[in-house]
Amino acid sequence: MGRINTSMVLILCIMFVCTFVPCYSSKKPAGVARKEDIPYIKCGVCQKLSNQLYEQVQSKQQQISPKKISEYEIIEISENVCNLKKQEADWILKIDIVEEGDRLELVEYDSEGQCNSECKTIERACQEVMGYYDTDVAEFLYKKKPQLSQLVDYLCKDLSEACSTKPPPVPKGRTPGEAFVPKSVKEAEMEKLMKSMEGMPGAPGMKMYSREDLMNNMQNLGNEDADEEEDDDEPDFPSNLGKVLRQKEAKKDDWKLKITKRIQDTSEVLRNHANKVSHRVRQWWRRKKTTSSKAEL
C-alpha cells in the first residue's frame, strides 16, 4: 500500500472543517462598552441577571439531583454569570438594546446574536450590578432558597440599589446602537465548545482562522507534492513495526489523559478552596464594616 500524500490529507481535513464547522476570523473587531448607556439599562439588566441566577441554580440542581447543590457551585455561577468568556453569561448574547422614546428597553431574542458594543455594555452593567456581591447572592440563594421576586428585591434594591430609583430619560440625539445580528446555529455551537474548553491544557493557545487564511495556507502546500511523488517508490514500513508504533502512541495518549485528569481534579480542589477562603474573607470584611459603622454612630 503506497504512502498517503500529506497534502491531500490536509486538504481533506480543511474541506471537512469548513463544511461542518464554521471557520472564524481572528481579525474580528471587538466591541467596546458604551458606559454612558449603563444608567438607562442598569435596572433592566439587574432584573434579567436575577432571573438568570435563579434559573441556572435550578437547572444545576436538576442536573445533579438527588445530590444537593453546594454553596460553592452557586458561587461559581454567580462569579461567571456576568463574564462573556463563560457559558453562564451566554444569556447576554440574546439581548438587544432598543430605544423607545426616552427609555432604553432590553429586548430578548430566542437565538444568540453577534457580540458588539451593546453586548459589551450589558456585560459591563451586569458587572457593576453584581460588584462584590457574588458571595452574598450565592449565600442568599443557598440558605434562603428564595422565589424569583425575592431575589430581585434582594439584589436590585437591597444590595446594588440598581432599581431603587427610576432610570433617567435618555438624552435626545443619542447615537443608536448596532442592529441585532443573529448567529448561525453552527457558529453558536462552536463558540460554546470553545468556552467549554477554556482552562484545558493546550486550549489557551488555540486560534481560529478565516476560510481565506485556511485556503491560502493550503495553496502554499503545492510544492510538497513533488517531494511526495519521489518517495512513492520507497518500500513500505513493515506492518508489524507500524503496529508497535501505534501501540506505543496509544500508551503515550493514555498517560496524557491520566495526567490531564489529575490536573483537572487538582484545579477543582484548589478552586473550591479559594472560593471558601474568599467567602470567609468577604464575610469578615462585611462584619468589620458593620461594626465600624455602628461605632461611629
- pLDDT tens per residue across span 270-294: 666 666 666 667 777 776 666 665 5
Residue 215 confidence (pLDDT): 56
Residues paired with residue 103 on neighbouring β-strands, in sequence order: 100
- In the structure grid, which three cell numbers stand for residue 295, read together? 461605632
CA 15 to chain centre: 28
**With bands split at pLDDT 50, 70 and 90, how would you rate the model's confidence at 255?**
low
pLDDT category of residue 188 using cuts at 50, 70 and 90: confident
pLDDT of residue 251: 60
Instruction: Tell me the per-residue pLDDT of 117-147, one tens digit each, with 9 for 90 and over.
Output: 999 999 999 999 999 999 999 999 999 999 9
| Its pTM surpasses 0.85 | no
In this structure, which amino acid lies at residue 64? Answer: I
What's the pLDDT at 196?
72
Angle at 64 between CA 62 and CA 68, to 5 degrees: 90
pLDDT digits (tens, 9 = 90+) for 1-57: 444 455 554 445 445 444 444 444 444 556 899 999 999 999 999 999 999 999 999
Stretch 207-229: mean pLDDT: 51
CA distances from 42 to 90, 104, 110, 261 (A): 18, 10, 22, 41
